[in-house]
Amino acid sequence: MEFLPLFHNLRGALVLVVGGGEIALRKSRLLADAGAVLRVVAPEIGTELRELIDRSGGEQILRGYSQADLTGCVLIIAATDDEPLNAQVSADARQRGVPVNVVDAPALCSVIFPAIVDRSPLVIAVSSGGDAPVLARLIRAKMESWIPPTYGHLAGLAARFRHQVKNLFPNVQQRRAFWEEVFQGPIADRQLAGQGAEAERLLQAKIDGEPPAATGEVYLVGAGPGDPDLLTFKALRLMQQADVVLYDRLVAPAILELCRRDADRIYVGKQRADHAVPQDQINQQLVVLAKQGKRVVRLKGGDPFIFGRGGEEIEELAAHGIPFQVVPGITAASGCAAYAGIPLTHRDHAQSVRFVTGHLKDGTTDLPWKDLVSPAQTLVFYMGLIGLPIICSELIKHGRSADTPAALIQQGTTTNQRVFTGTLANLPQLVAEHEVHAPTLVIVGEVVMLREKLAWFEGAQASV
């Protein structure tokens, strides 16, 4: 290990920065965030850096570097493009025993800047010892996606109760076990969900020795249209901590595999005229599992509130006092249209977009056709494949041109995506000719014409 990672308290401490350009500005931002007082020395200092110096309560010295500038400083940063000057600053700092960092010159450094993931008060540093800073930044970027910003709030919660817990458990092993349980249980869930007051109440109750409530929680999670990369960070986090997963037919296998490995998986998929589990039974199952104290993910394709019956499910949960969270997902309309190269709105072609279900609760296709024939409107039909002949004929009958561009997107956003474009007049014929099957999204509107030049996702995709 060439460098020992340490975290320094610079609040109120004087730090010298030699250089007044962009590099000096980047380093100074980090120093100011840590509460340092900046002394910046350079013949010229940029406007933004001058403002930063003023906010830190520091000083700007508009001249060349002098060894006397090190006086009173606890850290030195050389951030110029003058290599001999940087070497001189490094030598002067080392002679005085003051830590020094020379940007992009590890051999001249006694300390280096790591790549930082800031979830204050939780801070994570990644370093390659100056050998591969780009690699360190790439790893930092991955960690940014793994660790939600709310983890900082969780660390803050622990800080507020640290002394109480220390007094309650004088043994370090007991304290470690206590905090591990807190950070992996419902208290952490409440804090990460933005319910800080409830998290504090539960933690205080745990410290006071009150028995925990038996009720679990339900996470209504939108899995998106199929591509696992379209999941939100929050969706992934909840999927990986659930005890039970109830999933639909439209949830891609690759997404299901991202759930916690030892979680129970229950298939509750539905398709037209074939409901594996009736909706009322799904609602009740969520209640029963939560009352058993389990954390339940209800994983739904697309977005749970857009033709996903999510509203019906959380109504049942609310009626029984079951806590729940709703995590939006990318709905099929936006996801599939984007991957097909069809913008849903466009200033020249469509000033509005309308999401329409292809069949109603009673199984009919009795829609407000007069409201759906505006030429400056994009229509997106969910579950419209079976009723497609009726949809096309009714739109034409009520005034939409038979030549209106239209598209079919089968298994959008996946490697099995297929896109077929035509018009309202021949769309049903395309279904028969190419054996198009559900799940398929139907898009009607002038924006479909843009696909020819905007299509970008063509993996395993056939286009007409």
CB-based burial, 86-100: b 16+ in 10 Å, e otherwise:
bebbbebbeeeebbb
Is 180 assigned a ligand-binding role in the annotation? no
The amino acid at 312: E
- 324: which 2 tokens? 């729940």
Is 302 assigned a ligand-binding role in the annotation? yes
First to last CA, the chain: 59
Is 412 assigned a ligand-binding role in the annotation? yes
Q: 295, 403 in Cβ contact below 8 A? A: no
Pairing mode, strands 377-382 and 440-444: antiparallel
Is 211 assigned a ligand-binding role in the annotation? no
Is 274 assigned a ligand-binding role in the annotation? no
Is 303 assigned a ligand-binding role in the annotation? yes
Please state, in angstroms and rounded to a whole number, the distance separating the CA atoms of residues 63 and 18. Answer: 10
Pairing mode, strands 75-78 and 122-126: unpaired
Q: 188, 182 in Cβ contact below 8 A? A: yes
270 catalytic per annotation: yes
Q: 179, 285 in Cβ contact below 8 A? A: no
Q: 341, 447 in Cβ contact below 8 A? A: no
Please state, in angstroms and rounded to a whole number, the distance separating the CA atoms of residues 358 and 236. Answer: 30
The amino acid at 437: H
Please state, in angstroms and rounded to a whole number, the distance separating the CA atoms of residues 365 and 132. Answer: 60
Q: 223, 252 in Cβ contact below 8 A? A: yes
Please state, in angstroms and rounded to a whole number, the distance separating the CA atoms of residues 391 and 251. Answer: 26
**CA 211 → CA 87, 206, 215, 242, distances in Å?**
63, 7, 12, 22
- 201: which 2 tokens? 């109440």
3-state secondary structure of 267: strand
Is 152 assigned a ligand-binding role in the annotation? no
Is 217 assigned a ligand-binding role in the annotation? no
Catalytic hit among 227, 248, 294, 300: 248
Is 306 assigned a ligand-binding role in the annotation? yes
Is 363 assigned a ligand-binding role in the annotation? no
CA angle (271 as vertex; 422, 434 as ends), nearest 5: 30
3-state secondary structure of 306: coil
Catalytic hit among 118, 234, 243, 270: 270
Is 23 assigned a ligand-binding role in the annotation? yes
271: Cβ contacts below 8 Å, ≥ 6 apart? 249, 438
* Residues placed in the known binding site for S-adenosyl-L-methionine: 225, 301-303, 306, 331-332, 383, 412
Catalytic residues: 248, 270
* Residues placed in the known binding site: 22-23, 43-44, 225, 301-303, 306, 331-332, 383, 412
* Residues placed in the known binding site for NAD(+): 22-23, 43-44
